[in-house]
Amino acid sequence: MIYTPLTKKALKLCFEAHKEQKDKSGLPYVFHPFHLAEQMSDEETAAAALLHDVAEDTENTFADLEKLGFGGRILEALKLLTHDKSVPYLEYVEKIKANPIARAVKIADLRHNSDLSRLDAPTAEDLQRLEKYRAALKILEE
């Protein structure tokens, strides 16, 4: 993990925002963004990794994030990483590709979410999602 004042602020917000959530196998959800942040190589990508699901999956808004000091390139990446359900998934992924911060975070996100060993008993739905993630990774890694 990269520890700077900004990443520490992101770490605290990430924990507070996700502390009651569980992932698909019942583990604390917050382990997921922590895992992604550990793989990042600079302050901006680490902060974006920690915050990548905050606006999408919690009550926090982009305005809240901006007020807390997450602006500029980080906020731009977070907006790209937040999937508007009215946009087809692979179209959403295609938009991420051009942003280096969002791209790095999404690749790590997809790889982690593709690790079926995290699940106790993968279902047919999990296998379908895995195929979607493989298609997304192919787009991002081209």
Which positions are catalytic? 56-57
Which residues lie below 8 Å from residue 46, measured CB to CB, with a gap of 6+?
A: 1, 2, 7, 10, 37, 40
Q: Closest Cα to residue 113, out of 40, 23, 10, 27?
A: 23
Cα 132 from Cα 90, distance rounded (Å):
8
Structure tokens at 39: 């793989």
Largest CA distance in the chain: 43
